[in-house]
């Protein structure tokens, strides 16, 4: 369990330990990381609400994330997202925070709940967590996602459609440069029919470009 004894044990060099002790140490390190993630969330949330010279806290102030961004040299959007995640696990879905504090729930697992249950009301979201949290460590990421989706849909039959509608409302197409220097064209949260139609147009355009380039004696990579 997270605490002084575990902290001291993790200072041991695993290179000189037998296999079972290395495995135990690995699990201990993960538990310590989970606890540390919970503690970091507490500091993030408090930092977003604290003001210089007073212990008074200011709630629901969007500018609070800017304090975090400045302190950690994060972008404002990243700071806002991390502060909101902290609020979710500490206040909206506190069972997640307590499990992280105890060391047995990973931050990425808590993130599955936070992301998928965003459109449920607080009581419904907490009910999903109550039903599934204990079994979370035995599931892979994909299995956990499926369990949360299935349980949320059972609790609120309209949840899936509301979630889809919220995603489609954020639909966007992004053109950007890849690290290789090539270009990428990506669509996110698109309605299925429009996505299929757009794919057909892109393929047709790509075929036309390939034909034009080859007609002029040029070459195109094998991905086309």
In tens, the pLDDT along 181-193 reads 777 878 888 887 7
Per DSSP, what are the bridge partners of residue 51?
54
Mean pLDDT of 122-140: 98
Instruction: Classify the C-alpha dihedral 13-3-36-88 as positive or negative.
Output: positive
pLDDT digits (tens, 9 = 90+) for 150-205: 999 999 999 888 888 888 888 888 888 888 877 787 888 888 777 788 778 788 87
Mean pLDDT of 21-34: 90
Retrieve residue 146's tokens: 């499926």
CA distance 211 to 193: 27
Mean pLDDT of 98-119: 97
Percent of the chain with pLDDT strictly greater than 70: 96
CA distance 160 to 53: 46
The residue ranking higher by pLDDT, 120 or 7, is 120
Mean pLDDT of 103-111: 97
**Helix-strand-coil split of the chain, %, nearest 5:** 70, 10, 25
User: Are the C-beta atoms of residues 96 and 87 closer than 8 Å to each other?
Assistant: no
Per DSSP, what are the bridge partners of residue 174?
186
**In this model, does residue 126 exceed pLDDT 80?**
yes
Average predicted confidence (pLDDT) for the chain: 89
CA distance 52 to 90: 23
CA distance 35 to 100: 5
Q: Which pLDDT belongs to residue 7? A: 74
The residue ranking higher by pLDDT, 7 or 104, is 104
User: Are the C-beta atoms of residues 76 and 66 closer than 8 Å to each other?
Assistant: yes
Helices (H) and strands (E) in the chain, counts: 10, 4
**In this model, does residue 35 exceed pLDDT 60?**
yes
Q: Which 3 state secondary structure label does DSSP give 170? A: coil
User: Are the C-beta atoms of residues 88 and 17 closer than 8 Å to each other?
Assistant: no
pLDDT digits (tens, 9 = 90+) for 206-221: 788 788 888 888 776 6
To the nearest 10°, report the CA torsion of 38, 68, 65, 159. Answer: -30
75 falls in which pLDDT band (50, 70, 90)? very high
Burial degree of 221 (CB within 10 A; 0-12, 13-18, 19+)? exposed
**In this model, does residue 148 exceed pLDDT 60?**
yes
Q: In whole angstroms, how far apart are CA 215 and each of 107, 201, 208, 219, 224?
A: 54, 21, 10, 9, 15
Q: Which residue has the tokens 């949260």?
A: 189
């Amino acid at each position: 369990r997270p605490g002084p004894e575990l902290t001291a044990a993790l200072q041991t060099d695993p290179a000189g330990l037998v296999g079972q002790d290395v495995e135990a140490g690995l699990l201990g390190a993960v538990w310590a990381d989970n606890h540390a993630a919970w503690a970091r969330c507490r500091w993030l949330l408090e930092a977003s609400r604290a003001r210089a010279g007073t212990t008074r806290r200011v709630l629901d102030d969007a500018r609070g994330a800017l304090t975090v961004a400045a302190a950690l040299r994060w972008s404002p959007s990243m700071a806002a997202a991390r502060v909101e995640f902290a609020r979710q696990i500490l206040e909206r879905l506190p069972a997640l925070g307590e499990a992280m504090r105890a060391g047995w729930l990973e931050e990425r697992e808590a993130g599955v709940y936070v992301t998928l249950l965003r459109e449920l009301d607080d009581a419904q979201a907490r009910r999903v967590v109550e039903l599934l949290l204990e079994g979370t460590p035995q599931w892979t990421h994909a299995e956990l996602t499926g369990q949360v989706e299935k349980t949320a849909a059972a609790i609120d039959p309209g949840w899936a459609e509301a979630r889809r509608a919220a995603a489609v409302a954020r639909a966007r197409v992004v053109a950007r440069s890849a690290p290789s220097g090539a270009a990428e064209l990506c669509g996110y949260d698109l309605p299925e029919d429009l996505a299929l139609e757009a794919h057909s147009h892109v393929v047709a355009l790509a075929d036309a470009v390939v034909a034009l380039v080859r007609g002029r004696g040029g070459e195109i990579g094998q991905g086309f």
